[in-house]
Amino acid sequence: MDLPATATPESLGKIDFDIHGMVRIRLIDPSPRDLSAAHKLLGCPSRLPLTNPEITVRFVEDLSASGIRFLGDDRGFTDDGFFLLQEGTRRVKARIPFDRIGDSCEIVCRSQIESVPLLMPIVGLTALKKGYIPLHAAAVVYDSVGLLMAGWAHCGKTTALLGFASEGAEYVGEEWVLFCSNDQRMYGLVRPLELAPWHLASLSQVRGAVSLMNRCAFRGINVLHGLQKMIRGERIRSSFAFRSLQRVSMALGDRLRQVIPLSAIFRDKVCCTGAPADKIFLFLSQEDQRIDVERITPFEMAARLTFLVQHELSALQRHYAAYRFVFPSRRNEFIESSVEYSLAILARGLHGRETYIVRLPYPHVFPELLKAIQLCSNPTTAATAAESIHALA
């Protein structure tokens, strides 16, 4: 196999990232563009060099392999390597050692691409092996209470985060939050926020950071959302035309997302050291315009969050299945047992927490959500031992 490892012309040497002491990542010879992409995912680099990083990403100007064979348009392999490819060109993007994920591993990545393939799932699995659950969630501290809001994409987590910011809450994390079962604390990444037009519509303090052209486009999208809210009648709202209008407005909103610094929204109220996860909410979007909050058992929450974790790891799992097809003897037992491992950690870690399902429209109006949460999440006694949690520990 021929695997050149030539550094990029404008490489930056070694850059380290430390995620709360849980996962350490080292970039070797990243270009400024590579570093910028990593910053959006991982936050700011560590000020001090790290020893023994769990994940090393080595960037090269050209990544090719002689004698490569293909699995479809996005995967390739040789006798001793597995590669992710750029679809349509079959150009190699990265070499991933799937049998080493969760332990110390090195990814070799072609420089100047959009981002390192599968980096966040690999970081998440590395954290999971140490007992930290990677959740698709937003988290704040509001009135001295730690709130963790998890859920599928497009369920209202970011809108809730921004709403709590307007009420003086402290930022913990957004989009990606680690939950620790041992101390029942949550840890986020301090990185810029990507906001959609309907998010910016309620944030006058950040509109100045958006170009005039984008502000005009945002107004057009907000008009589409206003039209959707004006349409009444279940028959019309379930029609193909109405659903098409929803898809178009959401797609346009996603394409016009803006990257906003945390300081523009939370000022200096940013928690960099984690916070207690006192109350856990699972957001589910619904067509009904009502907001319903229902208390559930910690064990049910653990089961639901386990499969949310698996959904976030699904892209990695698909590539791992192809890896096992090519190398049937190179098994990663941790990847294959991640469901059981996640459930055990969550069941143990959520014991005694207040856990709720929140059903709400998307986008939602934050004051109504805040009122519903305040009405339904008054302090209650801890969950009983009858939930069979200790049996999974």
What is the side-by-side order of every strand in the sheet holding 75-77?
Answer: 14-19, 23-28, 55-60, 105-110, 91-95, 82-86, 75-77, 69-71
Proportion of the chain above pLDDT 90, given as a percent = 58
Integer Cα distance of 69 and 82 in angstroms: 10
How far the first Cα of the chain sits from its last, in Å, is: 45
HEC profile of 193-206: EEECHHHHCCCHHH
CATH topology (fold) of 132-192+265-315+323-392: Rossmann fold (3.40.50)
Q: What confidence tens digit (pLDDT) does each residue in 312-327 have? A: 999 999 999 999 999 9
Q: What is the DSSP string of 70-121?
A: EETTTEEE-SS-EEEEETTTTEEEEE--GGGBTBSEEEEEETTSSS-TTHHH
pLDDT of 146: 95
Q: What confidence tens digit (pLDDT) does each residue in 74-117 have? A: 999 999 899 999 988 889 999 999 999 999 999 999 999 889 99
Residue 350 phi/psi, 5° resolution?
A: -90, -5
pLDDT of 287: 87
Integer Cα distance of 119 and 318 in angstroms: 15
Q: Answer whether 149's CB lies under 8 Å from 157's CB.
A: yes
Integer Cα distance of 131 and 345 in angstroms: 7
Q: Answer whether 165's CB lies under 8 Å from 140's CB.
A: yes
Number of C-beta neighbours around residue 297 at 10 A: 16
Kindly report the pTM of this predicted structure.
0.82
Integer Cα distance of 312 and 338 in angstroms: 12
Integer Cα distance of 181 and 203 in angstroms: 35
Residue (of 193, 196, 205) closest to 362 by Cα position: 196
Q: Average of pLDDT values for 347-356? A: 94
Confidence of residue 386 (pLDDT cuts 50, 70, 90): very low
* Domain edges within the chain: 14-130, 132-192+265-315+323-392, 207-260
Q: What confidence tens digit (pLDDT) does each residue in 155-211 have? A: 889 889 988 998 999 999 999 999 998 899 999 999 888 877 767 666 666 666 565
